[in-house]
Structure 1
Amino acid sequence: MLRATNIDSLSRGTFDVLVLGGGINGAVAAAALAGRGAKVALIDRGDFAGFTSQESSNLAWGGIKYMESLEFRLVRKLCRSRNRLLRSYPSSVQEIRFYAAHERGFRHGLFKLFLGTWLYWIIGSFFTKLPRLLSRRTIAREEPIINVDGCDGGFEYSDAYLVDNDARFVWGFVRAALDRGALAANYVESLGARREGGAWVARARDVLSGRELSIRARVIVNACGPFADAHNALTGQRTRHRHIFSKGIHLIVDRLTSSRRVLTFFADDGRPFFVIPMGNRTCIGTTDTPVEVPETHVTPEDRRFVLSNINKRLNLPRPLTEADVIAERCGVRPLAVQDGSGTDDWMLLSRKHAVEVDREQAHVSIFGGKLTDCLNVGEEICEVVQALGVALPRPAARWYGEPGEDERRAFFEEARQLGLDARTQPRSSEALSARLWRRYGAQALGLLEEIRRDPRMADPLIDGAEDLRCEVAYAARHEMITKLEDFLRRRTKIALLVRRDELSTSPGLREACRILFGEAAEPKLEEYFQEHGARQPAEGKAPLTAQPLR
């Protein structure tokens, strides 16, 4: 297995850089450094993108809300980053319209906010479609699901979103790092590190087996996200920056509207509140609650807040209740603050990142950040590591982006000859060829070859999800699936689309587990449902477990 081979190799030789943490910051750091020719190791104590980076709103936006606090330089930077993502990942990051209803009496008037969208468009280099002012009548005609009572109009503007899920996008950077020679392993925990003989020696532990190992590297990059402060304490690093945390949650329900727009409101507390398309589902949120620790969960109050706000603002056949919730997302935003800055008020903090360098010890810490800004983080880490004396043999190499047009044309021509799109499921949100290209790029040609040899490889396995048998087989070989949750929640978004009680009785899930884990399939199934629980199944269906949802 790829993971076992990589773990065996982590203790051999000295790496140029050891990256700790496989969220978005760590993944882009590893991809950028490996792409530029550095010898890189990447470890995470959980799965890649297994914490904050799997709990986002799936938006790659330029930070329009930071205009209220007059952070125009940050907005400019984020808009340029958004535009670069749109150019570099046209299949994965796409423009989407934000459709905002404005309530009378809101702290900013409608026309002021509309002018703000024009300024946002200008700051964003005119890269997206023009903003548009909306009357109540227009909203009622175009989006009848919106309750216009108490509304004096609205506006529409553009930003971007991830067509797939955030964790899958992060995995793409991990895969890119691996393809360029990096060693990466999930479920390997750093126990701290010390300087020895001009290099770092990190103690690490395989979380699954308990095996301990040492990893030598000239430079350490702490990309542990919300846990960066704790790891700095392990290595004796004293930094000017630290984190405070804000919790955000989303609820996933059946699709509420067929339009491909993000419906935008201002919740009762004045914060932006979204109804985001997610294929055949809708994602509602988010909250913004200060918390003391990174580990969080969805509370009854959180659910009531989201459901209450959405029921007030939409015309639904009946109010949404907890019974309508298919899945939940809950995570913290690690907000970077600087000691002595007096800016601990989380309501005033942006998601901008900070990179702090200890040049004497060759240690780098990344604080804060967001998905939109990820390419900037990768470039900045390359500059910092090079300044610390690590040679980058390919300093101008492009380390991000989708494959070139020739590869794209070759794939779609092969897919056309194979008649692939005729196999697209009736309820699918896109053609099968488009989805395979977005998720696998040039590697999708290998999937076409498997389908050509055995047409059954194009069959979806799990009701309610679009993932094919050949995709499960590919994940088993190449995507370092260690636990069932890695597959259901991060390499795919099945756990966000299919209710747990349906999963617990799914024959397709059992078959997927046999492909992924072989003889260990049943224990992996039991482990997943014991950890995450399952609702009671429909009458006559036997559950895998009888655990309640947590």
Structure 2
Amino acid sequence: MSLRSANIERIDGGLFDVLVVGAGINGAVSAAALAGRGASVALVDRGDFGGFTSQESSNLVWGGFKYLENYELPLVFGLSRSRNRLMKAYPDNIKEIGFLAALDHSSPYAPWFAGLGATAYWGIGMFGTDRPHLYSAEEVKAQEPVIDTTDVRGGIEYQDAYLIDNDSRFVFSFVRSALEAGAAVANYVELLSAERVGERWVCRLRDTDTGTEATTSARVLVNAAGPFVDDLNESWDLRTEHRIVYSKGIHLVVPRLTTTRHDRVLAFFDDTQRLFYVIPMGRRSVIGTTDTRVETPYTEVTDEDRDFLLDQINARLDLPEPLTRADVIAERCGVRPLVVTRGADDQAEADWTSLSRKHEIERDESRAVVTVLGGKLTDCLNVGEEVAEHVEHLGVPLEKDVGTWYGEPAHQTRAEFYRQARLMRLDALRTKPDTEPLTDRLWRRYGRRAFDLLEAIRADPAMGEDVMGSADYLRAEVYQAAEAEMVVTLDDFMRRRSKIDLVVRDEDIEASPGLREVAEILFGADAERRLADYRERKGARSPRG
């Protein structure tokens, strides 16, 4: 029996303290925090873990420098503290990174004023990063020659942090934490209905992959459905003080644009005086994000979106040839669920561009429902802790929070992994230039489970080979994904457990003989169907012309 099937079997007919609906970042941290404190927890999502909004972020862990312009000092302070906590808890996954902002004559702030803001930001963040710097136009050019400084007055560099791997894999780390603490978790399980019967909720579920239905019960429901929280509450006839509005943001993944340091973000104001970035992603650069109000969480990248970002970056970089749509390797497109007070339609319209990524958590005492609205990756630990506090208020006893539900393994465990990897000369397996050492990558992605990969490679050296060439993924990693990462579709692996779909061109993926092997390892006899489904979904996405 697969890990996923075993978990669905546990959920079916079970009685839990808490059922968490939605396995994006909010649902995943909620399940991890609750299970880590002794609650019996079930976590379900009608799609994949981190498979909607949480897979479309900028991969940035930041304190919200731009929120200073609206004087949201408490929010910036809270986010900066959260960023510092995450950097400390995940030192191999979340790294400090510089943001080099080039300010031209159309920018809303002069360099000296932006420098004051950066210094204030550093202080509000309790000096948890390196200090900021103020640069002249000449110094900006020296720092990064690709920036066109013809119209640049100067620049600043301040510090924040970013996720080295993809956002949805970070979400999955909390899903694993919940699982290891005893939670029952399952992706592609849809909540069909929930009815309050006495002191518990009776919920009808459906496995969207097989069509099989199940029933489970819980004392408390946590609505962590991201952009769908309002719809879910409506189905329960439950009303909250806040609601969600949607902002669409897109990113374009292109070949690496920076020429000096490849571990720094470039920041610019676009023609609408909104910030956008060039963010490192290994051997690629990610350009974004945009900010467009939309009425639905279902979005796609349009030609207008592509052309806008390409025009903005071409006007600000001194490139050998301007970027065109043909240079776009992959795209990200999603909505930010932004929180407004219910009934504040006029305010939401008037202050659209100033709405922040704060979160609100509401508790319905009579119905025993906790709703998580808004939020962002940076604030995830706070969300988990606050949800646990609300659940405790609803009568679910929890153990003391000793912080074991998040963070990387102990330093001694890491040192032992590196010792074993060094003895077996793991890094010598990798000869390609401009790639990070295998030891670093495997430890960051898998933590304690990386020891299993060493064992697999010792037993069979073929397990240490790249299974898809430029994708930088070992055969052993694919086997581990098949066994322990609840991969249901090929998209789950290619887009969320790994970031292959984000950094390798579609035609290169299709041309790789390793693609079929990946499908066979993951799905066995069902490989052909899953491969066909993957190709069909890829073909249905908006083509880049």
Please report the TM-score for the alignment, with normalisation by the length of structure 2.
Answer: 0.97
TM-superposed deviation, 1:483: 0.1
TM-superposed deviation, 1:504: 1.4
> Is residue 518 of structure 1 aligned with residue 514 of structure 2?
no
Question: Which residue matches 2:436?
Answer: 430
Question: Which residue matches 2:197?
Answer: 196
Paired with 2:66 and 2:306, the residues of 1 have a C-alpha distance of 24
Contact 1:133 1:156 in 2 (8 A): yes
Call closer, same or farther: CA 1:196–1:180 in 2, change over 3 Å: same
Contact 1:247 1:289 in 2 (8 A): yes
DSSP 3-state at the match of 2:433:
coil
Amino acid at match of 2:314: N
Amino acid at match of 1:177: A
TM-superposed deviation, 1:105: 3.6
Paired with 1:470 and 1:504, the residues of 2 have a C-alpha distance of 21
Structure 1, unpaired ranges of 5+: 536-546
Question: Which residue matches 1:206?
Answer: 207
TM-superposed deviation, 1:160: 0.3
Question: Which residue matches 1:295?
Answer: 298
Deviates more, 1:340-349 or 1:362-371: 340-349
Contact 1:25 1:377 in 2 (8 A): yes
Paired with 1:470 and 1:13, the residues of 2 have a C-alpha distance of 34
Call closer, same or farther: CA 1:515–1:231 in 2, change over 3 Å: same
From 488, 493, 502, the equivalent of 2:499 is 493
TM-superposed deviation, 1:175: 0.6
Amino acid at match of 1:154: G
Question: Which residue matches 2:232?
Answer: 231
TM-superposed deviation, 1:329: 0.2
Question: Which residue matches 1:332?
Answer: 335
Pairwise CA RMSD of aligned residues?
A: 1.4
Question: Which residue matches 1:465?
Answer: 471
Q: Deviations over 1:343-384 (max 9, x none)?
A: 313212100000010011110100000000000000001111
Deviates more, 1:334-343 or 1:22-31: 334-343
TM-superposed deviation, 1:6: 1.1
Paired with 1:476 and 1:429, the residues of 2 have a C-alpha distance of 25
From 245, 266, 271, the equivalent of 1:268 is 271
DSSP 3-state at the match of 1:504:
helix
TM-superposed deviation, 1:340: 3.7
From 425, 429, 432, the equivalent of 1:419 is 425
Structure 2 matches for 1:528-543, cutoff 5 A?
528-533=534-539
> Is residue 409 of structure 1 aligned with residue 415 of structure 2?
yes
Structure 2 matches for 1:361-440, cutoff 5 A?
361-440=367-446
Q: How many residues align?
A: 539
Paired with 2:322 and 2:228, the residues of 1 have a C-alpha distance of 39
Paired with 2:142 and 2:109, the residues of 1 have a C-alpha distance of 25
Paired with 1:424 and 1:82, the residues of 2 have a C-alpha distance of 32
Paired with 1:84 and 1:465, the residues of 2 have a C-alpha distance of 31
Paired with 2:523 and 2:126, the residues of 1 have a C-alpha distance of 49
Deviates more, 1:342-351 or 1:151-160: 342-351
Paired with 2:106 and 2:457, the residues of 1 have a C-alpha distance of 58
Paired with 1:459 and 1:137, the residues of 2 have a C-alpha distance of 45
> Is residue 282 of structure 1 aligned with residue 285 of structure 2?
yes
Paired with 2:204 and 2:236, the residues of 1 have a C-alpha distance of 11
Contact 2:248 2:335 in 1 (8 A): yes
Q: Deviations over 1:43-63 (max 9, x none)?
A: 000000000000000000000
Deviates more, 1:137-146 or 1:488-497: 137-146
Question: Which residue matches 2:461?
Answer: 455
Question: Which residue matches 2:164?
Answer: 163
> Is residue 323 of structure 1 aligned with residue 326 of structure 2?
yes
Contact 2:103 2:109 in 1 (8 A): no
Paired with 1:231 and 1:493, the residues of 2 have a C-alpha distance of 30
Paired with 2:98 and 2:83, the residues of 1 have a C-alpha distance of 14
Contact 1:49 1:171 in 2 (8 A): yes
Question: Which residue matches 1:246?
Answer: 247
Q: Deviations over 1:164-205 (max 9, x none)?
A: 010110000001100111000000111231101210111211
TM-superposed deviation, 1:425: 4.1
Question: Which residue matches 2:117?
Answer: 116
Paired with 1:105 and 1:267, the residues of 2 have a C-alpha distance of 9
Structure 2, unpaired ranges of 5+: none
Contact 2:328 2:544 in 1 (8 A): no
Contact 1:192 1:231 in 2 (8 A): no
Paired with 1:357 and 1:45, the residues of 2 have a C-alpha distance of 23
Paired with 2:88 and 2:320, the residues of 1 have a C-alpha distance of 40
From 509, 513, 518, the equivalent of 1:507 is 513
Question: Which residue matches 1:92?
Answer: 93
Amino acid at match of 1:343: Q
Question: Which residue matches 1:74?
Answer: 75
Paired with 2:208 and 2:511, the residues of 1 have a C-alpha distance of 29
> Is residue 343 of structure 1 aligned with residue 347 of structure 2?
yes
Q: Deviations over 1:180-237 (max 9, x none)?
A: 1100000011123110121011121111122222120000000000001111111111
TM-superposed deviation, 1:534: 8.7
Please report the TM-score for the alignment, with normalisation by the length of structure 1.
Answer: 0.96
Question: Which residue matches 1:542?
Answer: none
Q: Deviations over 1:5-55 (max 9, x none)?
A: 111211233100000000000000000001111100000000000000000
TM-superposed deviation, 1:501: 1.4
Call closer, same or farther: CA 1:526–1:319 in 2, change over 3 Å: same
TM-superposed deviation, 1:142: 1.9
Call closer, same or farther: CA 1:507–1:105 in 2, change over 3 Å: closer
Contact 1:343 1:349 in 2 (8 A): no
Amino acid at match of 1:311: N
DSSP 3-state at the match of 2:470:
coil
DSSP 3-state at the match of 2:215:
strand
Paired with 1:528 and 1:194, the residues of 2 have a C-alpha distance of 36
Identity of aligned residues (%): 55
Paired with 2:257 and 2:39, the residues of 1 have a C-alpha distance of 47
